[in-house]
């Protein structure tokens, strides 16, 4: 059975030749909400003439760009990843048979993490982010980023790589930073647009002072469903489901800042905003316990309040789940940031979840998906 994946190589995204694809036995892609995607191609190898069939091929040379497009038949194609080969592993056996070679890759955030930079930035925070992303030819998708940097009380200094700097900004604004890929396959080549998202996920509705508010945990009407323990004619779409509710998440924040003009101390406090909670029981619903965190960093009251709100938004995701499916069961390829409903897991857990991570394993037998999930509420108990 052929792999349900197309592989392209080089800056021009040229299709991997058939005489290389016939040695490909597995594609593994590891995706996360806000970390670079890592992926690997595993090829069988053998002696052909004077040397190995795959180990020395130019298509899998170091730093070669690799693009993975998954999907076949009734499963819509999805570009899972694009990035350079950063590591090569191989094993050579006596006589050649049983040898293999693996090309390990990472999406192009790796290019942003190679050179440290020392700089003092000025301008709007969203404009600074857009400029950095454009420098790497990413198409920016920026939202929920507020604030202005100057050389006075609101300094924004960089001392490290561009990736470390953007990750720090993302954390302080409470947004995620991730890449997606729009790919169009045109015969032997693919056209790929790399989109850099820098915003709160899932989307927010409404508006609050200093931050947007209101998580939108709404699955698409025609989207897939993680279904188990089915009744009637409904078919199961997952083979297992696990969940854990962490009830020791913080529900409030406090920090003391020094007023730049008066020199006095200003106490800043924040509560978990109800507009960023789920529609059912949240972490605050379990026991009369207040859990408080402290944030720190440069800037005045506005910056500290933004950090507290960001930390409390992150803490609101107190329910985590894991499930296993395949494209054969689900007829769909799952990606981080998707909103998918779980059914058949009992009244508390048959709720919408956001996909927080996926490990794709594609081989000649199947396209398997190990999926991590998160939610900011529980369903009502039976």
Domains annotated for the chain, with CATH where assigned, are 5-106 (2.30.300.10), 112-199 (3.55.50), 225-245+318-375 (2.40.30), 252-315 (no CATH)
Burial (Cβ within 10 Å: 0-12, 13-18, ≥19) of residue 204:
buried
CA-wise closest residue to 334 among 2, 9, 33: 33
Which residues fall within 8 angstroms of residue 159, CB to CB, at 6 or more apart? 116, 117, 118
Distance CA 50, CA 156 (A): 58
Q: Give the largest CA-CA distance in the chain.
A: 80
Residue 258, beta-bridge partner list = 265
For 9-58, what is each residue's pLDDT tens digit? 999 999 999 999 999 999 999 999 989 999 999 999 988 877 888 888 99
Whether 100 contacts 90, CB under 8 Å: yes
Structure tokens at 20: 């290389």
First to last CA, the chain: 45
Do the Cβ atoms of 117 and 165 come closer than 8 Å?
Answer: yes
- CB-facing half-sphere around the CA of 134: CA atoms within 13 A: 7
**pLDDT 10s digits, 108-126:** 999 999 999 999 999 999 9
Q: How sure is the predictor about 358, in pLDDT bands with cuts at 50, 70 and 90?
A: very high
Asked whether 195 and 177 are in contact (CB, 8 A), the reply is: no
3-state secondary structure of 166: helix
Q: Which two tokens stand for residue 88?
A: 């090569």
d(CA 181, CA 195): 6
As a whole number of angstroms, the distance between CA 150 and CA 129 comes to 15
Backbone angles phi, psi at 163, to 5 degrees: -65, -45
Comparing 13 with 306, which gets the higher pLDDT? 13
CA–chain centroid gap for 307, Å, is: 21
* pLDDT average, residue stretch 173-184: 93
Q: Looking at residue 170, what is its pLDDT?
A: 92
Cα 176 from Cα 73, distance rounded (Å): 33
Helix, strand, or coil here: 134? helix
Task: With beta carbons less than 8 A apart as the criterion, state whether 152 and 197 touch.
Answer: no
Number of CB atoms found within 10 A of residue 155's CB: 13
- Strands (E) in 207-351, as ranges, are 225-227, 240-245, 252-258, 265-271, 292-293, 319-326, 339-343
Residues 195-235: tens digit of each pLDDT: 999 998 988 765 333 433 456 678 888 889 999 987 777 88
CB neighbourhood size of 242 (10 A): 12
């Amino acid at each position: 059975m052929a792999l349900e994946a197309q592989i392209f190589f080089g800056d021009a995204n040229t299709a991997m030749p058939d005489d290389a694809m016939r040695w490909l036995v597995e594609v593994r892609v590891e995706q996360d909400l806000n970390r670079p995607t890592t992926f690997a191609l595993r090829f069988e190898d053998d002696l052909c003439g004077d040397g190995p069939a795959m180990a020395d091929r130019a298509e899998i040379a170091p730093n070669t760009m690799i693009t993975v497009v998954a999907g076949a038949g009734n499963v819509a194609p999805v570009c899972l990843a694009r990035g350079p080969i950063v590591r090569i592993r191989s094993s050579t056996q006596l006589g050649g048979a049983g040898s293999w070679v693996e090309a390990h890759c990472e999406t192009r955030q790796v290019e942003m993490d190679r050179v440290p930079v020392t700089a003092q930035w000025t301008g709007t925070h969203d404009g600074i982010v857009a400029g950095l992303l454009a420098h790497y030819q990413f198409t920016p998708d920026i939202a929920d980023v507020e604030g202005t940097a100057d050389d006075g009380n609101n300094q924004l200094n960089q001392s490290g790589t561009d990736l470390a700097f953007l990750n720090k900004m993302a954390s302080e604004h409470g947004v995620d930073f991730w890449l997606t890929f729009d790919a169009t396959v045109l015969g032997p080549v693919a056209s790929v647009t790399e989109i850099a998202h820098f915003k709160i996920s899932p989307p927010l509705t409404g508006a609050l002072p200093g931050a947007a508010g209101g998580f939108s945990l709404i699955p698409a009407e025609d989207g897939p469903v993680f279904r188990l323990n089915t009744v009637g004619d409904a078919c199961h779409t997952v083979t297992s489901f696990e969940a854990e509710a962490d009830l020791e998440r913080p529900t409030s924040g406090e920090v003391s800042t020094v007023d730049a003009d008066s020199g006095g101390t200003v106490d800043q406090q924040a509560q978990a905003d109800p507009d960023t909670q789920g529609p059912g029981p949240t972490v605050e619903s379990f026991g009369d316990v207040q859990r408080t965190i402290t944030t720190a960093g440069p800037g005045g009251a506005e910056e500290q309040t933004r950090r507290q709100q960001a930390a409390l938004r992150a803490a609101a995701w107190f329910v985590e789940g894991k499930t296993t499916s395949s494209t054969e069961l689900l007829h769909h390829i799952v990606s981080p940031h998707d909103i998918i409903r779980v059914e058949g897991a009992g009244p508390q857990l048959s709720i919408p979840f956001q996909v927080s991570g996926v490990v794709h394993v594609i081989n000649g037998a199947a396209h398997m998906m190990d999926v991590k999930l998160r939610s900011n509420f529980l369903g009502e108990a039976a």
